[in-house]
Amino acid sequence: MIKKSNWTIFRTVIFAMMGLLTANVYADGVGDLKTALGRLQGSTALKAVLEAKSWNRQGEGKKAEEMQANASVTIEDTTRGLQVLYSKELLSRLQAEERAKERDPNTKMPVTNTLKEFNSTELRPLVSAASNLSHRLETAVFKTEKTDILNGKSTRLLTFDIPVEHLSEKERKYLKTYEGKLEVWIDSDGTPLASRTSESMKGSAFVVISFEAKEDESLVYGVSGDRLIILKKESKNVSSGAGERNEIRVVKILQVQA
């Protein structure tokens, strides 16, 4: 028969062991994430429609200028490479902007500017998201892991610090302060479900010109075949300096086609 004092010790040890076992189940979320990214760098053929909505505001108050537009393209990623198909309607809108610009050099060109979101540098991370996230993890510093709720479901939330060293030496030399954070939500087997990146910085150039900027990016992931893709990307950039302020928001939606 176990004495009361011994039972208290025994129970404490059991609870501690259970806590360690539970912690061990979730302690290696980073390892699970990296394993998942390794198996999701596939090359399954992909066809999708990508829509981009952009909003840009320059200046403040009554003198501020706003410009917004939306455009969509069809993209295909196969063994032949990445292809982008522009519809006739989109090409007509581009031509109309170009002709208006010829008549008036001050004419805004929102659709033309939005098409910058469809270059290869922007498209590749959307359709091959695993390699891009893996690259981010190379320099990120792991901080915490905890259970969290995402869209009503229990997930694991991994938090990382982004060191200033990920910026180029040229960019860093103008900075006085920098903070960067990466959050990644994963499911039970490590597959990424969503991520959020935030960066804020302050600095000065040429001694007298101070500036500050803040960038936020939210991603929603999905799986198509054996590849990780980004179904939704929302980015926001706010910067100010030399008496000017600029705010840019872009939302991209990727719809996979059968």
Q: How far apart are CA 43 and CA 130, in angstroms?
A: 11
Query: Predicted confidence band at 4 (pLDDT cuts at 50, 70, 90)?
Result: very low
pTM of the model: 0.83
Tokens read off for 189 = 């087997």
pLDDT higher than threshold 60 for residue 24: no
Domain ranges within the chain, ordered by starting residue: 29-256
150-192 confidence digits (pLDDT tens) = 999 999 999 999 998 888 888 788 788 999 999 999 999 999 9
Q: How far apart are CA 199 and CA 166, in angstroms?
A: 12
73-129 confidence digits (pLDDT tens) = 999 999 899 999 999 999 999 899 899 989 988 888 888 888 888 888 889 999 999
**Residues constituting the chain:** 258
Contacts (Cβ under 8 Å, ≥6 apart) of 45: 76, 77, 78, 79, 225
Mean pLDDT of the region 226-230: 96
- The pLDDT assigned to 13 comes to 41
